[in-house]
Amino acid sequence: MSAVHTAAPITTGTVWDELVSELPVGVLLQDEHGAVLAANSLAGHLLGLSRAQLLRNTRPDGWQVCDDSGAPLPQGAELAAQVLRGNGRLAVPLVVLRNGIAGSRLWADFHAVSHRGRPSVLTVLQPVHTDVPHSRGLIDPLTGLPSRALLLDRLEQSLTRSRTNGSLSTFVLVDVRKLAEVNAEHGFDVGDGLLTVLAGRLRQGLRDDHTVARYGGDEFAVVAEHPCGTGEPIAARVRELTQRAVLVGKVRLHPRVRVCWATSDGSAPAHTVIGHVEKRLRTA
């Protein structure tokens, strides 16, 4: 009996190219310097660029990509380094701007991969047709603030800008003490009302470009970028806003809070900054 030899079909590459081109998402492959190595046409369409512009790494005048807070994204090399240096995955809501006018809204998932033995970044782009931050659990349903996951991304981006632009980033953590006692004495509706009021005060009482987030069950966090100085004035403002008396229905509460903060020039990674503040809060 003669042996039967098999080989991979010579059309494997073509089949793969056709599969990627037919995907309902945009796909980009970038090297560790942010240069685009491969892309499907949908990626260009979603970004308002041609596939040729993507592959030539050229961008027209007035074209810009920001996160959903309006902050410009880091340049390709910085963004790639952030993904490769972190936990290998980053998810960001994007807005494509042309001459300052918002165009398409996208969801970008960045993944650290290896391509021909070199570290690379695979980006998957999806158009936003619904309220993606809520549907992905990035918005706290009680307070409407960004959740811990989105906060971490905002902090990483702030630290990247500080490292690149020579600015500073401050991370503030607020612990609302004895919330469990409020819930036990007055009910969870009152406890939830207290958190909602404090969230509104922080959002309205701080600058629009500061990120206020629900960090945990009884904790809030703030990420603030500033040109110089320390985070002490920001922490003092946070303490002032959260220590005022709160009226929830007929119940008057006097919140007791602990506030700790750290300021970085971007040289420390996000988890180090957070860990430092959490340790200070525990020992306060």
Q: Are residues 17 and 85 in the same domain?
A: yes
What was the pLDDT predicted at 69?
A: 65
Q: Are residues 123 and 154 in the same domain?
A: no
* Residue 7 banded pLDDT, cuts 50, 70, 90: very low
254: left (phi over 0), alpha (psi -120 to 50) or beta: beta
Instruction: Specify burial of residue 245 (Cβ count, 10 A radius: 0-12, 13-18, 19+).
Output: exposed
Give residue-wise pLDDT tens across range 212-261: 999 888 999 999 999 999 999 999 999 999 999 999 988 999 999 999 99
Picking from 97, 129, 161, the residue at the C-terminal end of a domain is 129
Q: Are residues 224 and 265 in the same domain?
A: yes
Percent of the chain whose pLDDT exceeds 90:
38
Q: For residues 49-79, b (16+ Cβ closer than 10 Å) or e, as one string?
A: bebebbbeeeeeeebebbbbeeeebbebebb
**Which contiguous run of DSSP H or E holds residue 223?**
strand 219-226
Query: How far is the C-alpha of 81 from the C-alpha of 156, rounded, in Å?
Result: 11
Percent of the chain whose pLDDT exceeds 70:
88
Higher pLDDT, 6 or 228: 228
In a domain, 142, yes or no: no
* Residue 136 banded pLDDT, cuts 50, 70, 90: low
* Residue 65 banded pLDDT, cuts 50, 70, 90: confident
Domain containing residue 203: CATH number: 3.30.70.270
What was the pLDDT predicted at 5?
A: 40
Q: Are residues 201 and 122 in the same domain?
A: no
Number of structural domains (the chain) is 2
- Whether 69 and 154 have beta carbons less than 8 Å apart is answered as yes
* Least confident stretch, 14-28, 45-59, 152-166, 256-270: 14-28
Please give the structure tokens belonging to residue 212: 């206020």
Of 117, 111, 58, nearest to 88 by C-alpha is 111
93: left (phi over 0), alpha (psi -120 to 50) or beta: beta
DSSP string, 82-136: HHHHTTSEEEEEEEEEETTEEEEEEEEEEEEEEETTEEEEEEEEEE--S-HHHHT
- Does the pLDDT of residue 146 top 80, yes or no? yes
* Least confident stretch, 6-15, 42-51, 86-95: 6-15
In a domain, 36, yes or no: yes
What was the pLDDT predicted at 15?
A: 61
Strands 246-248 and 251-253, bridge-based pairing: antiparallel
Mean model confidence pLDDT for the chain? 84
* Residue 144 banded pLDDT, cuts 50, 70, 90: confident
- What is the arrangement of strands in the sheet containing 168-176, beginning at the earlier edge strand? 211-216, 219-226, 168-176, 257-264
What was the pLDDT predicted at 1?
A: 36
Higher pLDDT, 73 or 220: 220
Query: How far is the C-alpha of 33 from the C-alpha of 87, rounded, in Å?
Result: 18
Domain containing residue 27: CATH number: 3.30.450.20
* Residue 13 banded pLDDT, cuts 50, 70, 90: low
In a domain, 139, yes or no: no
* Residue 283 banded pLDDT, cuts 50, 70, 90: confident
Q: Are residues 40 and 109 in the same domain?
A: yes
Instruction: Supply the range of the domain harboring residue 33.
Output: 12-129
